[in-house]
Amino acid sequence: MMNLDDIEGMDLELLAHPQPMYKLLREGGAVTAVDGFGDGPMVLVATAEQIKEVFAHPEIYSSGLDAVDIGQIRPLIPLQIDPPRHKYFRRLLDPILGRQTIADLEPQTRELVKELIAAVKDDGACNFHHAFAEPLPSTVFLQLLGLPVSRTKEFVALKDGIIRPSGVHNHEERVAAVHKTGQEIYAILRETIDARTTEPQNDMISMFLDAEVDGEKLTHDDVEDILYLFFLAGLDTVTASLDCFMSFLAQHPEHRQQLVDDPSLIPHAVEEMLRWESPVQGVIRLAAEDTELAGCPISKGTSVSVMIGSANTDEAVWERADEVDFHRDTKGHIAFGGGNHRCLGAHLARMELRVALEEWLAAVPDFSLKEGIELKYSQGLRAVENLELVW
C-alpha cells in the first residue's frame, strides 16, 4: 500500500523529470494500491503490459461518467461512452478529424506558426508558453471548431479552471470550482449551438449538427457533450506537448542540432519526445466490476490510474528506455492512449507539433533556457508556463 501524498508532494525536479518515479513504480509492482485519493480507493497501473490490458477491456475498466469529474453534466462524447454505443460516435467523428482534413489545415497552420515566430524572433527572447505554445493550438482549434479567436484568453482561462483550478485547498473546493467553471463553458456552447442551428457556418459545430450515421443525427445534447470535451482537450494537450518539447530541446543542444542538421528527423523526434515526455502522464478508469490485474485484487468502483508515462519508458518494451533517440522506432508508444478511447485528435496534434518544430528550428536554430530559470511543470498535463527561452 502506497500513500498518494508521497506522489502529490512531488518537488519541482520530479515534476520536470518524472521518468525515475515511473521506474520506481514499476519496480514496486505492475499494479500498486494507494490511499489518500479523493473519497475512494485507487490503484496505479505502471507497466506497459498491464496498461494495454486495461485499455483493451473498457467493459471492465470504464471511462464513463463516474471515472473522472471535470465539471461535466453528462458523459463526454466519445471519451466517456463505452462500447457498443462508442462505435457509433467514432464512426461519425473519426472522418471529421481524419488525415485528409488535417492535411488541408497544414498550410494555414504553417502561416500562423511563421507569424508567431516573426513576432518574437528579433527580440532574442520570449516566454515560449505564452508567446507560442498557447496561441498556436488555441487559434487553430478555435477556428476549426467555430468559436471566436478573439475570446482565446477567456476560453483558455476557463479551460485552466477545469484542468488546473487555482485557489483551491482541498478536494471539496476543487470539485466546487470545477463545476462552477463547467457551467460557464456549457453556457458558451449552448449559445453557439443555438446560433449555428439558426444560421449554419463552415465550421465543425455546424458539421456536427448536420452529421448523421445510419440515418441518425446527433441531438443538441450530443453536440454539447462532444464540444465540452473538445474545448478542454483542444486548448491544452498540444500546448503542454510544445512546452515539453521545447524545454527538452533547450536543455539538450546535441539533440536540437540533430534536427537543425537534418529536418527530415523531425517527425521521428515528435514521436520520440511524445514517448519520453508523455505530456499526458496518465488517465483514469473506473472498475466496473470486481476484478484482478497482475495479482492485485481490484474492487468494483475503484479508480484505476493508468500511468501512460510509465508505459512509454518501460524497459520491458523499450531498449535503452531512459535514452532519447530520434532514430528509434517509436510505433509502440501510447502517448495518445490506446484501445477504443485512443485520442481523437492525434492527427491534428502530430501535424501541429511537426510544423511548429520545422518552422521554429529553421528560424531560431540555437536557443537555450534563460539563465537562472527553474522550470515549473504542472502536474497531470505537463505545461510549463515559465518557459523562458533566449537566443
pLDDT classification of 39: cutoffs 50, 70, 90: low
Name 6's Cβ contacts closer than 8 Å, sequence gap at least 6.
none
- Average pLDDT of every residue of the chain: 92
Q: Which of 155, 141, 147, 136 has the alpha carbon at shortest distance from 205?
A: 147
Residue for grid cell 485507487: 42
Tell me the C-alpha distance between 213 and 232, whole Å. 25
pLDDT for position 36:
52
390: which strand partners? 125, 368
Tens digit of each residue's pLDDT (9 = 90 or more) over 244-281: 999 999 999 999 999 999 999 999 999 999 999 999 99
Distance CA 81, CA 83 (A): 7
Sign of CA dihedral 90, 266, 136, 165: positive
Buried b (16+ CB within 10 A) or exposed e, 248-263: bbbeeeebbebbeeee
Residue 164 banded pLDDT, cuts 50, 70, 90: confident
pLDDT (0 to 100) of residue 65? 87
Sheet holding 368-369, edge to edge: 125-127, 388-390, 368-369
Q: Per residue in 54-84, pLDDT tens? A: 999 999 999 988 888 899 999 999 999 988 8
Between residues 165 and 243, the one the model is more confident about: 243
CATH number of the domain within which 105 lies: 1.10.630.10
Structurally, how many domains does the chain consist of?
1
Reported as a single tens digit per residue, the pLDDT across 185-206 is 999 999 999 999 999 999 999 9
For the whole model, what pTM was predicted?
0.93
Domain hosting residue 37, numbered range: 2-390
SS3 387: coil
Determine the average pLDDT of the residues in 123-128.
98
